[in-house]
């Protein structure tokens, strides 16, 4: 689990087009010949991505069957090279077979009209999540809470298999954004608030989606997104401006993107917001200097949804839509996710080239990259899928993996001894998250905003069902998210129960509609906890949520507290496993949990200051049903000479399970320096490495972790912070739990 040295050492890519090392010379020559033989309109078409809805029904919002006239407009008139399904954009019959038939039909029409296969993209955020009967996995925050890259990789591999089975070749993930502001509606799409943790998970999911050698005919293309700084919008409001100094950009935000690129990510999606006063899509610095030249990326850069139009509607840049096209394509974006108004993009880009505003060589470079990706995915030779096998490939696939990954994410944050349950207790189960499938699934499930907007629910095990199956003596009192249930029934059931399991959470959401300036429990749910606690029955609170909801006024009423994130299809089995001790909770928080929203944005690796950092729970927190002790056995070498951000040491740690239960532990290695030589500062502490391990009761295990020094690097340059990254000489501390050791750097 090693982080590469941030963005240092990336190979430069000069000019408009980089050499492709993934294809043989014959294929590269074929691509060059094809580009040379294409008209300007055909080239621009390859750079155009339309939503499925623009090919269906009578207008973009109707849906319906594929429309012959719209297909003709897209492919015969505009030579479109890519189609996507945004959240909720599905075939009329939302089954795997119908998806496969639809993508085949579009593919056939495109090839006959243009001679080039389309590449179909989708937001398969937690499995093939647009398909009703697909298996839904934990969202990224929950996967991050497992602290096990294997799950990110295995879920990515599953996603590639089921998405490919329905004729889709490109996933818009993983998100390499840091979870920094819980008010933001995309918080749960991030693995973690920490760059090392996020880097490792991003690389793992990328490998899972694409395979070890990058995308090919048996996998799909991954997209690291949203480049960059997207997750720190002003006020926590989606697509708001971000203001991030170079020093923090380079030490915090860029490493996860570099990790994704180093893992072979074939595509990058741009940040829909602005960074330091420049819309990311129009930034030559971000795209050409940083991403292409410094970070060495030679793959496809795609816009996010409608972001050339948003250059004007949000950022107020560009006197016309034609100006906006010039700015974004001129900056280096290869493909525009239109997704509807094709006439605003294609004719304007053609005119800009014909008028000399954009060189045709610039267009050729983008088209080469797009065609190379299609060749790597084997779309020229094998563009179709078999609808007859799609159903078997998708429906019910890998439910065991969904169960295991959800169970491993469960994070125990409080426990006065109430847990684990014996299975003999009488239980009251109440709260909206006990039965509301929309809560356990979150956004990007069937519909863009999740199941609150959906007509059909996917198969799922609710928390109530999981506990009824595992515990037996269960009484359920319904309780809605925003409205209280029958209070007399609640009081009677609570008084008659040995333990009350109160399941709370928030409704499904995605992107801007999920922005929340005060993310806390709804009053009805806070009152529920208070009322149950008033009966003196022990309260086990289970929260299913995409972010840490503040618990002011109710925290003191909770006897045991489990954070379950957005666990997906197998939520109920995972929660039951943890509450009844079948699974000793080993999840750890991938973010900092504030006491109140006034602390937002909040994250642990901040620079030193006078104000007190006092969250409710800290990054990495999580309890167990057993006890672990650490001993740092050695650090090798103990002295690092001629250090660089690429330098590493090996830290050997002994982990002893001194409790009565077998269990998993997550060993977190942090580093800091009491004083730098100045004037530059380091964060109070920084995660350097981690590893999850299983230790039997009374047993021990020895771990040797490769610990990079890159996260402790400084960026020179005083306040302008435009210098190089370097590791300063001096004394550093490495610590695991309360154990510390010294590291000398000279």
Pair 502, 540: CB distance under 8 Å: yes
Pairing of strands 725-726, 714-715: antiparallel
Answer whether the bond into residue 601 is a cis peptide, omega within 30°. Answer: yes
Distance CA(48)–CA(342), nearest Å, equals 8
| Alpha-helix runs per DSSP H in 512-628 | 523-533, 571-579
Cα–Cα distances in Å, from 342 out to 51, 56, 337? Answer: 10, 15, 10
Phi, psi torsion values for 695, nearest 5 degrees: -130, 130
Kindly give the interhelix angle for 96-114 and 149-165, rounded to the nearest 10 degrees. Answer: 70
Kindly give the interhelix angle for 195-210 and 149-165, rounded to the nearest 10 degrees. Answer: 30
Answer whether the bond into residue 420 is a cis peptide, omega within 30°. Answer: yes
Which of 573, 558, 544 shows the shortest CA–CA distance to 413? 558
- Which DSSP helix (H) or strand (E) runs through 302? strand 300-302
Cα–Cα distances in Å, from 507 out to 74, 442, 482, 547? Answer: 37, 7, 10, 12
Pairing of strands 223-227, 170-171: unpaired
Which of 512, 509, 554 shows the shortest CA–CA distance to 534? 554
Cα–Cα distances in Å, from 524 out to 432, 484, 491, 546? Answer: 10, 5, 15, 19
Buried b (16+ CB within 10 A) or exposed e, 313-336: ebbebbeebbbbbbbbbbbbbbbb
Quote the Cα angle for 174-180-183, to 5°: 100
What 3-state DSSP class applies to 60?
coil
Strand partners, 639: 744
The 8-class DSSP code of residue 598 comes to G
- Give the residue carrying structure tokens 């090279």: 81
Is the Cα dihedral 440, 442, 444, 450 positive or negative? Answer: positive
The answer for residues whose C-beta is within 8 angstroms of residue 101's C-beta and 6 or more apart is 91, 387
The answer for residues whose C-beta is within 8 angstroms of residue 21's C-beta and 6 or more apart is none
The answer for residues whose C-beta is within 8 angstroms of residue 195's C-beta and 6 or more apart is 3, 178, 251, 252, 253, 255, 256, 711
Instruction: Return the structure tokens found at 528.
Output: 């529920």
Burial label, 57 (beta-carbon count in 10 A; 0-12, 13-18, 19+) = middle
| Alpha-helix runs per DSSP H in 61-95 | 68-71
Active site residues: 304
Pair 80, 49: CB distance under 8 Å: yes
Burial label, 361 (beta-carbon count in 10 A; 0-12, 13-18, 19+) = exposed
Distance CA(333)–CA(326), nearest Å, equals 10
Pair 135, 396: CB distance under 8 Å: yes
- Which DSSP helix (H) or strand (E) runs through 261? helix 254-262
Pair 571, 461: CB distance under 8 Å: yes
Per 3-state DSSP, what percentage of the chain is helix, strand, and coil (rounded to 5)? 35, 20, 45
Which of 541, 575, 539, 560 shows the shortest CA–CA distance to 409? 575
């Amino acid at each position: 689990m090693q982080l590469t040295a941030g963005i240092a050492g990336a190979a430069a890519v000069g000019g408009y087009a980089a050499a492709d090392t993934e294809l043989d010379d014959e294929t590269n020559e074929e691509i060059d010949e094809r580009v040379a033989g294409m008209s300007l309109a055909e080239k621009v078409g390859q750079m155009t991505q339309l939503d499925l809805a623009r090919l269906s029904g009578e207008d973009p919002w109707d849906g319906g069957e594929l429309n012959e006239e719209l297909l003709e407009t897209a492919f015969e008139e505009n030579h479109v090279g890519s189609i996507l399904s945004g959240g909720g954009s599905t075939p009329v019959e939302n089954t795997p077979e119908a998806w496969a038939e639809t993508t085949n039909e579009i593919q056939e029409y495109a090839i006959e009209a243009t001679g080039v296969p389309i590449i179909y993209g989708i937001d398969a955020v937690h499995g093939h999540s647009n398909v009703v009967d697909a298996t839904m996995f934990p969202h990224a925050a929950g996967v991050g809470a497992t602290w096990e890259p294997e799950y990110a990789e295995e879920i990515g591999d599953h996603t590639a298999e089921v998405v490919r089975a329905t004729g889709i070749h490109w996933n818009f993930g993983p998100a390499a954004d840091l979870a920094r502001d819980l008010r933001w509606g995309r918080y749960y799409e991030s693995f973690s608030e920490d760059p090392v943790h996020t880097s490792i998970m991003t690389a793992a999911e990328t490998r899972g989606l694409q395979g070890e050698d990058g995308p090919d005919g048996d996998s799909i293309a991954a997209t690291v997104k949203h480049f960059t700084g997207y997750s720190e919008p002003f006020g926590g409001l989606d697509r708001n401006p971000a203001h991030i100094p170079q020093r923090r950009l380079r030490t915090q935000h860029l490493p996860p993107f570099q990790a994704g690129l180093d893992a072979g990510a074939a595509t990058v999606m741009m940040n829909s917001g602005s960074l330091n006063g420049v819309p990311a899509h129009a930034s030559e610095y971000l795209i050409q200097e940083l991403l292409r030249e410094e970070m060495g990326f030679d793959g496809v850069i795609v816009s996010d949804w409608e972001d050339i139009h948003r250059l004007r509607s949000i950022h107020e840049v560009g006197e016309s839509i034609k100006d906006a096209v010039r700015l974004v394509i001129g900056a280096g974006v290869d493909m525009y996710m239109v997704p509807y108004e094709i006439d605003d993009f294609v004719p304007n880009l053609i005119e800009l080239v014909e008028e000399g505003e954009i060189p045709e060589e610039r267009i050729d470079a983008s088209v080469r990259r797009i065609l190379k990706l299609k060749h790597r995915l084997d779309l020229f030779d094998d563009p179709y899928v078999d609808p007859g096998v799609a159903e078997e490939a998708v429906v019910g696939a890998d439910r065991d993996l969904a169960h295991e990954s959800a169970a491993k994410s469960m994070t125990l944050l409080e426990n006065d001894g109430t847990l684990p349950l014996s299975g003999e207790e009488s239980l009251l189960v109440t709260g909206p998250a006990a039965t509301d499938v929309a809560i356990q699934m979150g956004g990007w499930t069937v519909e863009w905003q999740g199941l609150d907007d959906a007509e059909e629910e996917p198969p799922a095990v609710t928390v109530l069902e999981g506990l009824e199956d595992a515990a037996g003596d269960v009484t359920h009192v319904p309780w809605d998210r925003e409205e209280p249930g029958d209070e007399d029934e609640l009081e009677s059931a609570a008084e008659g129960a040995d333990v009350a399991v109160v399941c709370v959470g928030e409704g499904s959401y995605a992107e801007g509609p999920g922005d929340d300036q005060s993310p806390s429990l709804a009053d009805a749910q806070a009152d529920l906890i208070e009322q149950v606690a008033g009966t003196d029955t022990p309260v086990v609170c289970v929260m299913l949520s995409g972010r840490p909801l503040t618990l002011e006024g109710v925290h003191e009423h909770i006897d045991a507290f489990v954070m379950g994130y957005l666990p997906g299809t197998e939520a109920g089995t995972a929660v039951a496993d943890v509450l009844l001790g079948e699974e000793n909770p080993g999840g750890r928080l991938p973010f900092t949990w504030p006491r109140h929203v006034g602390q937002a944005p909040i994250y642990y690796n901040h620079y030193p200051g006078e104000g007190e950092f006092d969250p409710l729970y800290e990054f990495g927190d999580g309890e167990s049903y057993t006890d672990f002790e650490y001993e740092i056995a050695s650090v090798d070498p103990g002295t690092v000479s001629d250090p660089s951000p690429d330098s590493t040491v090996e830290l050997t740690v002994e982990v002893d399970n001194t409790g009565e239960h077998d269990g998993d532990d997550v060993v977190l290695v942090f580093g800091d320096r009491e004083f730098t030589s100045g004037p530059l500062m380091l964060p109070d502490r920084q995660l350097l490495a981690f590893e999850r391990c299983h230790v039997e009761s009374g047993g021990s295990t020895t771990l040797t972790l490769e610990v990079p020094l890159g996260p402790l690097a400084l960026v020179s340059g005083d306040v302008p912070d435009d210098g190089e990254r370097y590791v300063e000489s001096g004394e550093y501390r490495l610590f695991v739990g309360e154990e510390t050791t010294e590291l000398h750097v000279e």
